[in-house]
């Protein structure tokens, strides 16, 4: 039997959103190879009322301005709340599906921020959505799921009407 038959499925993969035709990797990383085109100002945490949607919009505007200033094109941006500058990238192979990202774990749970898992899943629980980006809330939602003794291995945190605790189909 082939060793591929025993390969683990990668549940950390997701498809990212686009703004103005450009992909935005929000707290996740592209899986396809890329080159850094330029860096630009990160506005996360600069204002108290920044929602996920506003952060993505402002980041895309900042990237567009920097692209025009430097005369450098870009395919996507990578936005991280822990950095002062974000990254604009150009993918090496345009014929590939470059919208696939690998998400990070928080307290052992995969967290899908502004992206959709590519693997099948079922919703285990849902919570009222807040537009404010709050990384403490992510931990609180995970803790709430554990306190309820729910079996889940992912959290979808996006601009939908609910935050979703999910379990991947095995």
Which pLDDT tens digit goes with each residue over 66-125?
999 999 999 999 998 788 899 999 999 999 999 999 999 999 999 998 899 999 999 999
Predicted pLDDT at 1:
38
Instruction: Taking residues 38-58, report their average pLDDT.
Output: 74
Based on the domain organization, do 110 and 87 belong to the same domain? no
Based on the domain organization, do 85 and 35 belong to the same domain? yes
117 forms beta bridges with 14
> Which pLDDT band holds residue 6 (cuts at 50, 70, 90)?
very low
- Picking from 34, 60, 91, the residue at the C-terminal end of a domain is 91
- Picking from 91, 121, 140, the residue at the C-terminal end of a domain is 91
Predicted pLDDT at 10:
94
Q: Calculate the average pLDDT of the chain.
A: 86
Tell whether 29 is covered by a domain.
Answer: yes
pLDDT of residue 48 exceeding 60, the answer is no
Tell whether 96 is covered by a domain.
Answer: no
Range of the domain at 47: 13-91
User: How many structural domains compose the chain?
Assistant: 2
Tell whether 149 is covered by a domain.
Answer: yes
Based on the domain organization, do 84 and 22 belong to the same domain? yes
Q: pTM for the full model?
A: 0.85
> Which pLDDT band holds residue 36 (cuts at 50, 70, 90)?
very high
The 3-state secondary structure of the chain, one letter per residue: CCHHHHCCCCCCEEEEEEECCEEEEECEEECCCEEEEEEEECCCCCCCCCEHHHHHHHHHHHHHHHHHHHCCCCCEEEECCCCCEEEEEEECCCCCCCCEEEEEEECCEEEEECEEECCCEEEEEEEECCCECCHHHHHHHHHHHHHCCCCCCEEEECCCCEEEEEEECC
Tell whether 130 is covered by a domain.
Answer: yes
CA gap 57, 91 in Å, rounded: 21
């Amino acid at each position: 039997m082939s060793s591929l038959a025993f390969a683990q499925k990668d549940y950390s993969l997701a498809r990212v959103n686009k703004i103005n035709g450009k992909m935005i990797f929000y707290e996740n990383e592209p899986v396809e190879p890329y080159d850094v085109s330029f860096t630009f100002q990160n506005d996360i945490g600069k204002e108290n009322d920044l929602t996920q949607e506003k952060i993505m919009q402002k980041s895309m505007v900042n990237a567009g301005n920097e692209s025009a200033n430097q005369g450098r094109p870009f395919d996507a941006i990578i936005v991280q709340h822990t950095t002062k500058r974000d990254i604009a990238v150009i993918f090496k192979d345009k014929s590939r599906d470059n919208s696939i990202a690998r998400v990070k774990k928080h307290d052992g749970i995969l967290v899908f921020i502004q992206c959709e898992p590519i693997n099948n899943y079922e919703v285990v629980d849902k919570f009222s959505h807040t537009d404010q980006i709050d990384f403490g809330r992510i931990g609180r939602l995970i803790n709430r799921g554990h306190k309820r003794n729910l079996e889940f291995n992912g959290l979808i945190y996006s601009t939908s009407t609910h935050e979703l605790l999910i379990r991947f189909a095995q």
